[in-house]
Structure 1
Amino acid sequence: MKTAYILFSVSVVLVIISISLFLSNNTTSHKTAVSYAETPTAYVFRASYNASQAELVEKYIDSCFFPVVIFGTTHKVKKEVVTADNTRFDIKASQGNFYVKADKKLNSQAALDKLINTCMGLKSVIKPI
């Protein structure tokens, strides 16, 4: 009789572990995080989001810096960008991740303000799912 209780307990624990692993791998909610840091020499913006929203983020960024195309048809970008108003920044992005770094010495305060506002505007584009 003791053996039956032990086997039953072990099987219940295994079922609970299996269900929790299944749910953690197959749920649609993902962590969304946005961070902004300003140092004496640079401005850094990071965002992580659900990869299914990558197209929205890419369209938003491309529309903000038009006529410069940052993403186009690619989801993964790692390059230095120079816009029409001479704003310079480095961008690294892939589906679900976005990183921008702008050197304060290379940009005017107006250019940095526009970049900061654009990046902060991602908060309204990225939604937790």
Structure 2
Amino acid sequence: MHRKPPDGFRLPSPAERNLVEVLTSAEFSGRAEVLAQLQSYHVRVIDEEGSLEICTSCVRPALVRYRVCTELHGSDLDGVMISVMLHVVDGFCREIENYKVDGSPIQRMPEVWESFVPGPEWCTKPSVG
């Protein structure tokens, strides 16, 4: 049984589905549950860079280690890095955030991405000494 999506939400485009597939291809804590949530989801664009709010009909939460559980990096046409991050809030996929590290507009999403999965060293602050 499929529920009607909330107002303003729609099915993801083929390009958005492909991006989600690449974004979730690396192994990370809670990946199986995230993939289950992304079997049935709707999106809406929330900024000029194409970031997406996610609404999933799955009720099983994902036990992820970090809010940003997986990330992609790739170069824009001008060589500046673009980052795409999957945000999981309270166990549920909530956002795919797209941004260019220098704050300029994204010209074109990369065809080739590097995956990054945050680990313990990602949250560790260097000791002062």
Q: TM-score, normalised by structure 2?
A: 0.32
User: Which is richer in strand?
Assistant: 2
User: Which is richer in helix?
Assistant: 1
Structure with more relative contact order (C-alpha pairs < 8 Å, separation 6 or more): 1
Larger radius of gyration: 1
Q: TM-score, normalised by structure 1?
A: 0.32
